[in-house]
Amino acid sequence: MKESINKSLEIKKVKPTAMRQLVLDILSKQEHAIGLPELEAQFAQADRTTLYRTLKTFVTKKVIHSIDDGTGTIKYAICKDTCQCNPNELHVHFYCTKCEKTTCLTDIAIPDVPLPQYYIAENINMVVKGLCDKCSKKN
């Protein structure tokens, strides 16, 4: 709803323009992560650039996080209000090769990996590919 969307934007210090409210509203209703092309498709008429820049702003301000699922199109999904996208609070993502949906496994934290000496981690992307629960049952 409108209220919680404005609250999210306020928390993350993003000016709540009409466009941004709309985009965030759509994103918040998604069951799966979506990409710019899919987002664009949800509008009867909207400019790709504006949506592109809205997503970019959202990512910078940590309203949403981006997911590189290996399909060639970056996906996006909402962050929790408390999320700061630090390496230690990141979760695993899942890409289903059958239904081609990308899911946030919000409950599964990315495990800590030991890096070789002098390597410094700033961010981690972990995507498991395979069959999602719905698709694995349909066999």
Partner DNA sequence: AAATACTTTGCAACTTAGTTGCACCAATAA
Partner DNA sequence: TTATTGGTGCAACTAAGTTGCAAAGTATTT
Contact residues: a copy of itself, CB under 8 A: 68, 70, 92, 94, 97, 105, 107-108, 110-111, 113-133, 136-137
Among 4, 11, 17, 98, binds DNA (CB under 7 A): 17
36 binds DNA (CB under 7 A): yes
Q: CA 79 to CA 85: how far, in whole Å?
A: 8
Residue 77 binds which of Zn ion, DNA, Mn ion, none (CB < 5-8 A, kind-dependent): Mn ion
- Of 75-114, binders to Zn ion (CB under 5 A) are 96, 98-99
Which tokens sit at 71? 């399909």
The values of phi and psi at residue 50, to 5°, are -65, -45
111-120: Cβ within 8 A, 24+ apart: 112/88
Side-chain-side CA neighbours of residue 8 (13 Å): 25
Q: Which residues bind DNA (CB under 7 A)?
A: 14-15, 17-20, 35-37, 46-50, 52-54, 56-57, 72-74
